[in-house]
Structure 1
Amino acid sequence: MKMDASVPFVAATLPLNKGCLNYDIFIDDLIDASSKLEVYREKIRDSKLDSSWFMPTLQQKEALASSMMEGTQATLDGVLINQVTPNEKDKNLIEVANYFEATEMGYRYLSRNQFTLDFIKEIHKTLMKGNVRKTIGEIGEFRTKQNYIGKMDEDHAITFTPPIFGEVPQLMENLLDYIVDPKDSLRPLVRAAIIHAQFLTIHPFMDGNGRVGRILIPLYLYCCQQIDLPCFFISEALEKDKFRYYKLLNDIRTDGRWSEWIQFFLKNVTSQCDKYIKMITRINQLYDQDLSRACEVIHSGNIVDIINLLYKYPVVSSSIISKCTDLPSATINRYLNSLVECGILYTDGKPRKRTYFYYDLISIIRD
């Protein structure tokens, strides 16, 4: 019988019953995704540029992609420029900056601790701070009212009603138990797909559930030691197929089609790995090329630090470099001018407080 979308859903607890999964549907995709994730992991390990330099830039792109799925209006260039000159009035940019901060906070926390419900609440609080949305209910707290998911059109027809709010604490405790101590024999990538879907089904917050759910993916894979850093982001792939993404999540609830959802998730893991592998290859090539060019015009070991910083800040200013190094302002400006003259950087041309753009890297990130 067809589920009434206006009636609160009765969510099953985890782990899933064995009969819920048909391995024949997704086993080949699991093999492909696991293999590609390991290649991506090795690619980062072997990179000539330490991953701590380019991970923040990938996080910025993920923050944008995940926020765009919720209707945020921003561009990659705008997000990168906002690192140099923060716009405290543009809520779109604040929302993306919050996502980046939440990802960073999650990484620092999980380097020392394991998942807790308070930690998940803290992610939500960080995401929603600054009044970025007209949120009903407290940020960083599980909902105490009923919420709904509706179509993004004029009639806003209800497509799914999450469980009643009184069931949220128990369902989240069950989800946390599954994250920390799962009682099944599934692979971490399959569990990541299940955790993401279950979190969105519970919909524990009044708003921001999609973004919290997508942040949990790399953080969970990091905790399971599937990746060395939480720098595998899937929102970009999901955003391209977001209506299929929403449909397959709903199919789990209406028809119990977990295997089809897991297959879709794994295919997106493979697709995103392919993209990141090519991106890191191009970044390594650019790094070698431009470090060599920079050393030809600037005969100082300090130029290595400047070039490295460009991968963390593809849009940069002398003040940012000053905060990150011990170099005097006059030296920084001389280096930046030399990088402009040799065509590595481009500038907005302002007489003071110039902004510099590393367009060759930005182009790689945009693709």
Structure 2
Amino acid sequence: MTTDAWPAHTTRVVPWRQSGRHGTRADRMLREITVSLPPLIADLPYRPEPELAGALTAAAREVIAVDADPRGHLGALGGLLLRTESVSSSRIEQVDATMDDYARAVAGIRANESASSMVAATRALGQMIERAGGTGRIRLEDLLDAHRTLMADDPVDARYAGRIRDVQNWISGSDHSPIGAVHVPPPAESVPAYLEDLLAFSNRDDLDPVAQAAIAHAQFESVHPFTDGNGRIGRALINAVLRRRGLTTRTVVPVASAMLAERDRYFALVNGYRDGAVDAFVADLARGTRIAAAASRESADRLAELPAYWRELSRPRAGSAAAKLLDVLAEHPILGAEEAQELTGAPLSSVYTALDRLEADGVIRQVTARQRNRVWGVIDLLGELDDLAARIGAAVRAGG
């Protein structure tokens, strides 16, 4: 346990009325609901006991080791980890698509709705961490902009993209009222003050950074400031805190893959935070962070070996468009002919020849079933997205 008890949420009964007449008679007759009121945490101390402090230090050490890798492939690694984190975070919300659909959506080709949402989550996460690193702060405008990026094309909640909710929301239970809900967040009018408090906490420098990221995430989920997208933005906040605190400078920790491996446990620990069980959630995030970072180092090793492996596989002529493409493929795992031409400076006819050759040699594969505006994915890198998440999940389930 921490040396300072973490306050549990309190509750308040507030009036409730449906905007229409929907659901069961119980939904329609409901007149009062009990909302959960998180504590204000901006200035709360958090001093973990020695064993937990050691786990937090071990997690931070693994993260720093990945980010400080001296080999010249960190751009490729950063892109891989960013995609892995956002794909796993989406899957926690049961938003899923094949890697081919995801690749098409990355290339701007209209894929299925889930693939487009996963790409939006990737962009939102990248945006949040870049701003946290660039400004040294996590600001309300950054949260709102990331949410706008995530939800702009959502078929249901696009009108709320980038906006703090002005309605009451709830988690689970009935679709028509908070009856049976697992959690009923605070009333809409209190959300701006809660976010101001949360951001003050997230911008502190006197806390362990991994613990700070964990608590910020749990508090964000309790406040639930948006009508939808709270889970994905809340998990992006974890990496934004780690970037702001300097644990990462070029990479992302795919901690959502650890959460996805034991999804029910993750949700239970977030619920436990509302009862004041802060240490359990902090310890779990520390463990997941350590495992995710260690697995990311294995991906770093694989990425470092790939260019030589591709050259051995294809044996392109020196100076050819194919040879030039092999030099940059690690950082461009999904590309079309025009992008390949920009990267190589070769004539378009030579680029198509190079792409066809690399496809025949098993380096890339086409992810579009058409002759015009074709898109290719790098086989090893698309596979590593799922492989990395799978390694993290296996280690989590094994008790690593």
Letter in 2 for 1:100: T
Distance 2:237 2:215 in 1: 12
Corresponding residue of 1:273: 293
- Shift in alpha-carbon separation, 1:177–1:285, aligned structure 2, 3 A: same
Aligned residue pairs, count: 357
Match of 1:317 among 318, 336, 351: 336
Of 373, 377, 382, the match for 1:362: 382
In the aligned structure 2, how far is the partner of 1:61 from the partner of 1:115? 23
Give the match for residue 217 of structure 1: 238
Secondary structure of the structure 1 residue equivalent to 2:36: coil
Residue identity matched to 1:263? A
> Deviation string for 1:12-66 (max 9, x for gaps)?
1114644x765245223213212211221223xx2332x2234333322322211
Query: 1:35 is matched with which residue?
Result: 61
Partners of 1:107 and 1:305 lie apart in 2 by 31
Partners in 1 of 2:84 and 2:262 — Cα distance? Answer: 17
Matched with 1:298 is: 317
Letter in structure 2 aligned against 1:202: V
Residue in structure 2 matched with residue 52 of structure 1 by the alignment: 75
Counterpart check, 1:9 vs 2:36: yes
Which runs of structure 2 are paired with 1:14-25 in the superposition (5 Å)? 14-15=41-42, 17-18=44-45, 22-24=48-50
Q: Give the equivalent residue in structure 2 for 1:157.
A: 180
Q: Helix, strand or coil for the counterpart of 2:95? A: coil
Contact 1:84 1:320 in 2 (8 A): no
Structure-2 residue corresponding to 1:193: 214
Q: Structure 2: where are the runs of 5+ without partners?
A: 1-7, 13-32, 388-400
SS at match of 1:283: helix
Comparing 103-112 with 32-41, which one deviates more in the overlay? 103-112
Matches within 5 A, 1:132-211: 132-135=154-157, 138-150=160-172, 157-182=180-205, 185-211=206-232
Alpha-carbon contact 2:217-2:238 (below 8 Å) kept: yes
* Structure 2 residue corresponding to 1:94, chosen from 116, 120, 125: 116
The one of 113, 116, 134 aligned to 2:139: 116
TM-score, length-normalised on structure 1?
0.86
Q: Aligned equivalents of 1:273 and 1:308: distance in 2?
A: 26
Partner SS state of residue 109, structure 2: coil
Deviation at 1:125, TM superposition (A): 0.9
Residue range with higher mean Cα deviation, 343-352 or 257-266: 343-352
Question: 2:106 is matched with which residue?
Answer: 83
Query: Could you say which residue in structure 2 is the equivalent of 1:238?
Result: 259
* C-alpha distance in 1 between matches for 2:350 and 2:77: 24
Shift of 1:137: 6.5
Distance 1:193 1:304, change over 3 A: farther
Measured in 2, the distance between the counterparts of 1:137 and 1:345 equals 39
Which of 364, 372, 386 lines up with 1:345 in the alignment? 364
Tell me how far apart the structure 1 counterparts of residues 36 and 283 of structure 2 sit (CA, whole Å): 24
In 2: Cα distance, 1:305 partner to 1:129 partner? 37
TM-score (norm 2): 0.80
Alignment deviations for residues 234-292 of structure 1 (CA, whole Å, 9 cap, x no partner): 111111111111111111112x1101110001000011012111111112122222235
Provide the rounded CA distance (Å) in 2 between the counterparts of 1:217 and 1:167: 23
Q: Cα–Cα, structure 1 residues 215 and 249, in superposed 2: closer, same or farther, change >3 Å?
A: same
Alignment-mate amino acid for residue 147 of structure 1? N
Inter-partner Cα distance in structure 1 for 2:258 and 2:85: 10
Coordinate RMSD, CA, aligned:
3.0
Give me the whole-angstrom Cα distance separating, in 2, the residues matched to 1:136 and 1:331.
42
Divergent runs of 4+, >6 A = 1-5, 152-156
Is this contact kept in 2: 1:57–1:311, CA < 8 A? no
- Structure 2: which amino acid aligns with 1:47? R
Any stretches of 5+ residues in structure 1 without a counterpart?
A: none
Give how far 1:357 is off: 4.0
2:322–2:355 contact (8 Å) kept in structure 1: no
Cα deviations by residue, 1:111-160 (Å, 9 ceiling, x for unpaired) = 53232112211111111001x25229622121122110115999983101
- Paired-residue identity, %: 20
Gap change, CA 1:202 and 1:25, over 3 Å in 2: farther
Mapped contact 1:298–1:338 kept (Cα < 8 A): no
Higher relative contact order (CA 8 A, sep 6+): 1
Supply the AA of the counterpart residue of 2:232.
Answer: R
Residue number in structure 1 paired with 2:21: none
Cα shift at 1:215: 1.1
CA contact (8 A) 1:346 1:357 kept: yes
